[in-house]
Structures are given as structure tokens and as C-alpha cells.
Structure 1
């Protein structure tokens, strides 16, 4: 139990004290304030959720705008892949920030709303049951104390009034003594008035001291009852603070992208893609695709062979095993099958999607290429069924 409030101190501070009648209302009002705080928290982070959603939309719009431009840019190889990775990373971040928006609204917002509904019980005519219970408890504990304080204030006022009256009587008596202009009878009357005032002051003082003693004696009980209700209010406030702390931590976890594994993966992949930019590989690709490394049909001796019926849509192919007329592609180009293909003629290759082999002749005007499988078998195949490795 606390000690009685100090007797000395600024008067205004004393009037603001929790122990003074009615000042417990500030504690009671915490319930309504907490309810409003929940509304403010939900509104605050709903607005943040809109910011996250708008940011996600802007990232997506930025990606859609630049993707065709980047894909059609003159960059190539690892440098092009690095630029494209910025766009794919933005797409993934857009999805992440959209999920943050959903978390702030559907998880954190709903959590606060649910707790608010379960914690605060509105009354039909306004206010909350919890604040009314505390108000009733404080008022019941303070009522006897307030009555005693009122009685004490009345006794103090009476004492001070009597003291002032006595003080005036003493001053009149002092002024009358030794004054030849005031008759002896008058001086005696003034003296009697002073004595009566003094007796009245002593009588009122005794009453004042008695009431003060009663108040002082009742103070421990009053403080104990008030602190009991206050402790209940503090416990409810502790629960509110604890819940809102967890709510804020949940919001922090959703907003803190620095610890989000998905974000780390996005930027790690982007960093690795940037670090994989290799000028030697890019220059080699350019050399083999647009430079001296390109396959070329070098002049070769051609035997004359009788004409035969040509297959529609294919280059002329000789089936004689002795010598074949063909263009030579120096070194060949490694290609990978995009689709399955079953040769329709003996001079056509068959392969599965994903198989790799060499392209040894460029595409003709009918869309056919000549290739050689790893086992050495050569044949024709549709050019659009493969891609360069």
C-alpha cells in the first residue's frame, strides 16, 4: 500500500492528484482512448497497404513497358541477360509487395479488429462496459473519502473564518489600549469581544482537528480501495499494450523486406547474373554468330549425277554412297531440338526434344538444314525445329 500523499507541494499539483475527487476519470478514459487508437492503427496501415499496392502496380507497369524494348535492344549475350534480369526481378518484387499489401489488410488489420471487438464491449447508450465498471469502482471507493474531504473543507473554512475574526479583534484591542480617546468601558467591551473570538477560534480549531484526524485515519483504507481498482485498470492496460506490441511486431515482419528470404533470393539472383557478365563469352558468341566463326559454304568439287525426282520442299540430295554433293560447314554449329521429329524419308533425321547434334549445312530456301548426329549419321531436318545451343 502506498504512503499518504505529501502535505506540502504546489497547490495546483495537489488538485491534479489522482487522489482528489474525480481525477480518476483520466484513468477510466484510457479505455475509450485505446479503442480509438485501434481505429487509428488500422486506418494508418491500410493507407500503407495502398502504398504497397500502388508500388507493386508501378513496378509491373514499368516492367511491361521496358520488356519489349530490352528484348529488342542491340545488346546480346550475358549483358542482355543482366538487363533482362532487372525486369524479371522487378516482376518478382511486384508480387512480393502485393503480398505485403494483403498481409497488412487481411492479417494485421483483421487481427486488430478482432481483438478490438473481443476486448471492448459497447453499451447501447454509448460508452463501454469496461470503462463503466472502472468508473463505478472508483466512484464507490471515493465516495466516503469525498464526503470526509467536504466535511474537512467546511471545518477548515470555519476555523479560518474564526481565526480572521480573532485577528481583527486582537488588532482592535491593541489599538484601543493606551488610547485616551477610547473610554474604559469601550476598551473593556473590545477586550471581551477579543476573548469571545479567541474562545470561538479554539472551539472551531478543535472541531477542525477532529475532522482532520478522521480523514487521516480513513486515508489508508481509501488508498487501498482506490489502488485495488487502479491495479485492475493497469492490468487491462498491460494487456492492451502487450497486444499492440505484438501487432506492431507483426506489421514490422511484413514490412521488413531486408529479412525476407524471397527478396534476398531476388537480389542474390540479380547479383549473380550481373557478376556472370563475361566479355570473352559475349565476344566469342558474336564472332561465331556474326563474325569469322560463322559457317560458310566453301567451294567443293561436284560430280555430275543424273537428275532424279525431288522431294517437295527439300534441297536436292544424292543417295549414291560413292560421293555426295554437299556444302561443307567448317566445324558445324551445335543445335538443340525444340520438338520431337520423326523422319519421313530415309535421308531425314529423327530426334527427340532436347537432343543435341551438329548443323553442318545452313537452311535452304525451303526451310531444311543438314545435320549430323553424335553417332555420325547425317540427314535433313526442319530448320525451325531446333535452336542454337
Structure 2
């Protein structure tokens, strides 16, 4: 019998839809029923049949979302045909989980390495700040304790990253290789278990299929018997139906009843055969399933062990070095003494400093210092060379547009200020980089190739001050770690003495003192303290 289908759809898909099956040969075949096609993602979770004279009413509960595949399979019994595939799939998933665990460990190791690297970079940055910054004393030491903690913690996290890869990652990789043997299509373990399940289920499956055939035949016979009985009853109640036709329907009904009895016996026999085989089927399937369980037990036990290994690698609270880091960290901060820092600052830069108070100084001649190269005995036949002459600053300024500190013209007093032990074999005037010309002083120097120091008979310099020899030996420039003022170089300058600074235009460094009477300043550049001409820089 053929049916026409119509569905009355509600406004909301979460409500119920009504489906009508109508026989095509019914008196209502001329009704105009609009067809409707149910989307394949709808899931029919509730079915209800209501019989009427011409319609079979099917009530369907519609749901727009599709249930998860695992939830669908959960309602299917392991004992059904082919449902052992979930146990086989679990074996394959075990190998995939090993790969996932290795990926987890490797990613965490990379995070630990990245964290250690960032700690190291952070520590170097702030160490440079403390080296060049204004912080001082025990407070600076406390600052450094933070960076020391970072350096030591960097070492610990680097070790954590290495241990994760060497102690855990490699174990998981080797265990996966030993327990799961990949073939061209799948794992050998999966194929073995699937074959065992199939062999155990095959006899039962044959009996089950035989039962389903018998069941179908029985239900078909019952349906035919019922249909024939209805036809006979309708024919008996209709006077227009011939008696011969009613008789034939009666014979047909008798035959159908015989087929029903035969198919029922066959159906019951097939069911009895299946039920009698069930114990053996259960035993064989359980045996193979227990093998799968044992394999999964080994995997779960191994994973638990590896997770404990990961815990041991990551748990720094149990590391004695970790506890020592923060114990030392606390002690170094606690050693900070603000009063000690204040006293130090007062003595170095404040009211506790000593002072050379001004005193009366007698006038001395303009030409009084002569630089020497060595100390020969007085009366030697060797020649004498004057390597520098001190000129009056006012006289020099009158003949020059630029201060003497901005030039490379060497004189005796300049040499005394920088490096008294320096020897200038030639004293030549060279214009500074920012200027194209300069007016030479009125008194020029003589350049010779022979340089000789002379002394009188008692070893003293007859042309210098009595104390000049001792003063010339003091060339040390001390860095007192004062903050200073940042300046920028306007021009290039190359040092002509060991105690001078060399810099390029645009470079920045720190000014530590104001210009002296000769126009030279004390500064710090790249951790080195030296002198430079004041007119070559500008403050920032």
C-alpha cells in the first residue's frame, strides 16, 4: 500500500511537528496537501502513532541541535553486532593521547624557556640602569637583590624545561613506540583486537540474522492474516459482494492462519537457538574485551606516573634552592640602612665634605711652567727644548674668536691640568673641527726633535715651582659616582692625553663638574671619567 505524506510544521522547531500518512487509494486522495521535507539534522526523539480510518498520525518532537556521536553510541549495547568498535577505537586513541601528552610537555617546556629568557633580559636591563643610575648605597644593593632573584630563578626554570624534555617527554615517546605498533592502515594492536572480536561475534551474528528473518516472516504473516480477516468481515457485511468471493476470502484467511502458526514456530525456534548460544557468546566477547581493558589499564597507569613526573619537575616549592633564593632575597632587602646611606651621601656630596677655603695667593709671573721629558743632571751638554709656554688668557682671547679649551693648542698649564706626565714632541696649532680658522697667539712655540729635561745639581727643575714635580705625578681622576648632568657633543673631539675623553658629534654622556679657569670640564662616558673642552658640548 502506498502512502502520501504531509507534515504540519509549528512556528518553533522546538515544538512538535505532526506528520500524516494518507493511503493514496483513500476517498481523501483529492485533498491538496503541501509536501514538507525534514532537514537531515533534525532528530526525532519521540514517536507516537494514532490510528484512524484513513490516516496514520505520527507526532514528531523536533530538535534543531544534533546530539554528540558518543551520546548516541552510549545507548547502543556492546553486545550488538559491530558495537565492539568503540573498544577498538579506544586503543587507537591511546596512541593519539600519547602524542597529545608529548605536545603538552613540549609546549610547557617552551613556556619555561621563554620565561627564563625574559627574566634574563629583564635582569640585564635593570642592572644597566643601576650601573648608570642615581641610586646608591645599601638601597642600591637591595635593588640588586631583586635582579639576583631573577637570575637564580632563570636558572631554575631553565632546568625545569630541560627536565621536562629529558625525563618525561622521552619516556612518553618511548612508551608509545613500545606499546603501539603502526602498520600501513592502522595499529597492529587495533587489528588484532578487531579480528578477535569479529571471530567471537560471528557465530552469534549468524543466529541473530536468522532470528531477524524469522521475525520478519512471522510479522508479515500476521499482517497478511489481519488484512484478510478485515476483508472477509467487510465482504460479509456488504450484500453486493458475491458469495463466491466471500468463500475465497475465507479460504485465504484459513491459509494465512496456517502460515502464521508455522512462522511463529520458526521464530520461536530461532530465538531459542540464539538464547542458548548467548552464554558462550558472552564468554568469548568478554575475554577479548578484558584484553582491551588490560591494555588500557597499562596506559592509564603509565599516564598517572608521567603526570607525577611532571608535578615533580614543576613543583619548585620542594626545591631547596628555590627556598634559599627567597630567604637570601629577604635578608638582602632587610640589610638596607637608610641612615648609613644618608651619612655616606653627606660625606661624599653634602655637608660632611671637606673644603679648600679661599686663601690669599701672591701674584706669580705669567711664564713659570716648563714641561719636561726626563730629568738629566744639570750642566749636561744636551740641548733644551721648550715644549709649551703659558700665555695670558686675556691676551689669547684678544687674538682669537674661540676659547683655548676648544683648540688643540698645547701649553704647559693645560698639560699640568690633564696629564703632567704626557710629553709633546711637537707643539703645533690645529684648528678645532667646528671652526675653519683661528688667530694664533702672539707668542709662538718652537718645535724641535730633541727634548731634554734639565735639573739643577740637586735634581730640581730650575724653571718650575718647587712643588711642581710632585704635582705632575698625580694624574688620577676619581669617579665619585655623582649623578651629574647629561650633555650632548656638538663636535667631534679626539683625546690628546690619556685623561681626556674622545667623542663624536651627537653622542651623549654625563657632565660631572663645571668648567675650570681653562675651560675644561670633568665628565663620565661609557663608565670612564675624563676631561673635555666645555665649548664642545651643550646641556640637554
Normalising by structure 2, report the TM-score: 0.50
**Which residue of structure 2 aligns with residue 256 of structure 1?**
315
Q: Are 1:156 and 2:215 matched, yes or no?
A: yes
How far did residue 66 of structure 1 move? 2.0
Q: Which has the larger radius of gyration?
A: 2
How far did residue 252 of structure 1 move? 2.5
Q: Secondary structure at the match of 2:129?
A: helix
**Which residue of structure 2 aligns with residue 101 of structure 1?**
161
Q: Are 1:283 and 2:342 matched, yes or no?
A: yes
How far did residue 15 of structure 1 move? 7.6
How far did residue 27 of structure 1 move? 0.8
Pick from 186, 189, 195: which aligns with 1:136? 195
**Which residue of structure 1 aligns with residue 296 of structure 2?**
237
- Hey, what's the Cα distance between the residues in 2 that align with 1:13 and 1:59? 50
- The answer on whether the counterparts of 1:31 and 1:131 sit within 8 Å (CA) in structure 2 is yes
Pick from 204, 211, 218: which aligns with 1:145? 204
Pick from 81, 101, 114: which aligns with 2:141? 81
Moved more, 74-83 or 249-258: 249-258
- Hey, what's the Cα distance between the residues in 2 that align with 1:255 and 1:115? 22
- Hey, what's the Cα distance between the residues in 2 that align with 1:177 and 1:219? 49
- Hey, what's the Cα distance between the residues in 2 that align with 1:170 and 1:286? 120
**Which residue of structure 2 aligns with residue 126 of structure 1?**
185
The higher-RCO structure (CA 8 Å, 6+ apart) is: 1
Q: Secondary structure at the match of 2:186?
A: coil
How far did residue 110 of structure 1 move? 0.4
- Hey, what's the Cα distance between the residues in 1 that align with 2:310 and 2:74? 42
**Which residue of structure 1 aligns with residue 118 of structure 2?**
58
- Hey, what's the Cα distance between the residues in 2 that align with 1:294 and 1:166? 126
Pick from 90, 112, 115: which aligns with 1:30? 90
Residues 1:14 and 1:188: Cα distance change in structure 2 (over 3 Å): farther
- Hey, what's the Cα distance between the residues in 2 that align with 1:186 and 1:14? 54
> What are the residue-to-residue correspondences of 1:320-335 with 2, within 5 Å?
none
**Which residue of structure 2 aligns with residue 267 of structure 1?**
326
> What are the residue-to-residue correspondences of 1:40-59 with 2, within 5 Å?
40-59=100-119
**Which residue of structure 2 aligns with residue 205 of structure 1?**
264
> What are the residue-to-residue correspondences of 1:232-381 with 2, within 5 Å?
232-287=291-346, 365=474
Q: Deviations over 1:336-379 (max 9, x none)?
A: xxxxxxxxxxxxxxxxxxxxxxxxxxxx9488xxxxxxxxxxxx
- Hey, what's the Cα distance between the residues in 1 that align with 2:161 and 2:322? 15
How far did residue 288 of structure 1 move? 5.5
- Hey, what's the Cα distance between the residues in 2 that align with 1:366 and 1:181? 144
Residues 1:73 and 1:154: Cα distance change in structure 2 (over 3 Å): same
* Unaligned segments of structure 1, at least 5 residues: 1-9, 298-363, 368-389
How far did residue 237 of structure 1 move? 0.6
Root mean square deviation of aligned Cα = 2.8
How far did residue 126 of structure 1 move? 3.2
Q: Deviations over 1:309-333 (max 9, x none)?
A: xxxxxxxxxxxxxxxxxxxxxxxxx
**Which residue of structure 2 aligns with residue 181 of structure 1?**
240
- Hey, what's the Cα distance between the residues in 1 that align with 2:73 and 2:269? 26
Residues 1:15 and 1:56: Cα distance change in structure 2 (over 3 Å): closer
- Hey, what's the Cα distance between the residues in 2 that align with 1:16 and 1:81? 71
**Which residue of structure 1 aligns with residue 151 of structure 2?**
91
- Hey, what's the Cα distance between the residues in 1 that align with 2:300 and 2:245? 75
**Which residue of structure 1 aligns with residue 227 of structure 2?**
168
Residues 1:296 and 1:71: Cα distance change in structure 2 (over 3 Å): same
- Hey, what's the Cα distance between the residues in 2 that align with 1:210 and 1:99? 72
- The answer on whether the counterparts of 1:71 and 1:84 sit within 8 Å (CA) in structure 2 is no
Moved more, 256-265 or 173-182: 256-265
Q: Are 1:68 and 2:128 matched, yes or no?
A: yes
- Hey, what's the Cα distance between the residues in 2 that align with 1:89 and 1:255? 18
- The answer on whether the counterparts of 1:121 and 1:129 sit within 8 Å (CA) in structure 2 is yes
How far did residue 179 of structure 1 move? 2.6
- The answer on whether the counterparts of 1:176 and 1:187 sit within 8 Å (CA) in structure 2 is yes
* Unaligned segments of structure 2, at least 5 residues: 1-45, 48-71, 357-472, 477-540
- Hey, what's the Cα distance between the residues in 2 that align with 1:172 and 1:58? 90
Residues 1:192 and 1:366: Cα distance change in structure 2 (over 3 Å): closer
- Hey, what's the Cα distance between the residues in 2 that align with 1:47 and 1:15? 38
- Hey, what's the Cα distance between the residues in 1 that align with 2:318 and 2:274? 61
Residues 1:52 and 1:274: Cα distance change in structure 2 (over 3 Å): same
Normalized per residue, the structure richer in helix is 1
How far did residue 290 of structure 1 move? 5.3
Moved more, 269-278 or 203-212: 269-278
Q: What is the number of equivalent residue pairs in this alignment?
A: 293
